[in-house]
Amino acid sequence: MAATRGTMMLARAGIAFTLHPYDYDPGAERIGMAAAEALGLNPSFVLKTLMVEVDGRPACCVIPSGGSLSMKRVAAAFHGRQAAMMPPPKAEKLTGYHVGGISPFGSRRAVPVAIEVASVTAPKVWINAGQRGLLLGLDPSDALRVLAAVAAPLLA
């Protein structure tokens, strides 16, 4: 398995993580849920990475794969007034990752990150490693620290 910018970022920071490859299904309606099922993981702890814009500025939200964002809560988490999903082509250009493989780690351009507050109490979470079909497992407190992220209520 080739290293990704995300795994290299974590390794440089001395963060312990495990890699979990799975068969990526590009036709899956909910990629994070498909990944959780493929790996036999609780979907509450398999987190998806969503790129958003808050008052026109890029940001990143990390939430459980079965959840939906509340744009009102996203705006509040980043001290903004309005939030919207970032169009996929813009998200790919900004992060350097393809949709279905976007990771909050090792993004081409660093942006503010918020992680769903309910997820940070788990002993371990799984997040995209920066490649379709590859998750990494780590302690959520390590994710918060290395990303300088905030824990905030983000779910609808």
pLDDT at 28: 85
pLDDT at 1: 56
The answer to whether residue 120 scores a pLDDT higher than 60 is yes
**Structural domains of the chain ordered from first start:** 5-152 (3.90.960.10)
Tens digit of each residue's pLDDT (9 = 90 or more) over 4-24: 999 999 999 999 999 999 999
The crossing angle, in degrees rounded to 10, of helices 5-12 and 140-147 is 90
pLDDT at 108: 96
pLDDT at 140: 98
The answer to whether residue 107 scores a pLDDT higher than 90 is yes
Least confident of 15-29, 102-116, 138-152: 15-29
Note the pTM of the prediction, 2 decimals. Answer: 0.96
Residue 156 CB neighbours (<10 A): 11
According to DSSP, residue 119 is labeled G
